[in-house]
């Protein structure tokens, strides 16, 4: 059945096979190149996505580290300012207490007469000392040791002045 239909044509099977082979080879080469290029593009796309994610991770880490450094700096600054405020209050309480003691009669053998400002001056000194110690404790956690040593030196000098005037 196929032979009568083919008998009228002059084309031989080897030529058809050659044409089909060439067409298949060309089509196979094209499809192979096409999918190879598609695979390469997909790999490039994945590489870009990976690089982008890595970049974002690095940026987040740097941002986080900067935030931590900035927060540490802010805490140190706040502790230092609070310590200075409380040192000023402490100093003011020492001055007020000294003024109170200077107004008392210190004549030998005379009885000291309490004045109305005495409890206020003593209470102010007690509160200022407590607040100062609290601020110094917080600052001791955040500030360098040499700064705390200087603060303790000033505090000791304030105590000596008070102790000398009490005696």
Tally the residues of the chain: 167
Q: Give residue 70's pLDDT.
A: 92
Q: Give residue 31's pLDDT.
A: 77
Q: Is it the case that residue 3 has pLDDT exceeding 60? A: no
Stretch 93-108: mean pLDDT: 69
Binned at pLDDT 50, 70 and 90, residue 167 comes out as very low
Q: Which two tokens stand for residue 160?
A: 């000596």
Whether residue 89 contacts residue 131, with contact meaning beta carbons closer than 8 Å, is answered with: yes
- Tens digits of residue pLDDT in 121-153: 778 888 888 888 888 888 888 888 888 888 888
Q: Give residue 163's pLDDT.
A: 58
pTM here is: 0.53
DSSP 27-47: HHHHHHHHHHHHHHHHHHHHH
d(CA 63, CA 116): 58
d(CA 11, CA 152): 112
How far apart, in Å, are the Cα atoms of 25 and each of 18, 34, 35, 141?
10, 14, 15, 78
């Amino acid at each position: 059945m196929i032979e009568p239909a083919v008998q009228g044509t002059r084309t031989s099977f080897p030529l058809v096979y050659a044409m089909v082979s060439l067409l298949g080879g060309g089509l196979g080469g094209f499809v192979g190149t096409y999918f190879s290029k598609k695979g390469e593009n997909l790999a490039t796309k994945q590489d870009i996505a990976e690089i982008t994610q890595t970049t974002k991770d690095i940026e987040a880490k740097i941002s986080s580290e900067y935030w931590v450094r900035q927060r540490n700096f802010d805490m140190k600054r706040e502790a230092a300012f609070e310590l200075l405020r409380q040192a000023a209050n402490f100093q003011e309480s020492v001055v007020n207490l000294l003024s109170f003691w200077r107004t008392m009669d210190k004549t030998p053998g005379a009885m000291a007469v309490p004045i109305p400002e005495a409890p206020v001056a003593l209470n102010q000194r007690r509160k200022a000392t407590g607040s100062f110690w609290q601020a110094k404790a917080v600052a001791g956690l955040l500030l360098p040791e040499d700064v705390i040593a200087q603060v303790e030196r000033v505090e000791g000098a304030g105590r000596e002045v008070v102790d000398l005037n009490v005696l």
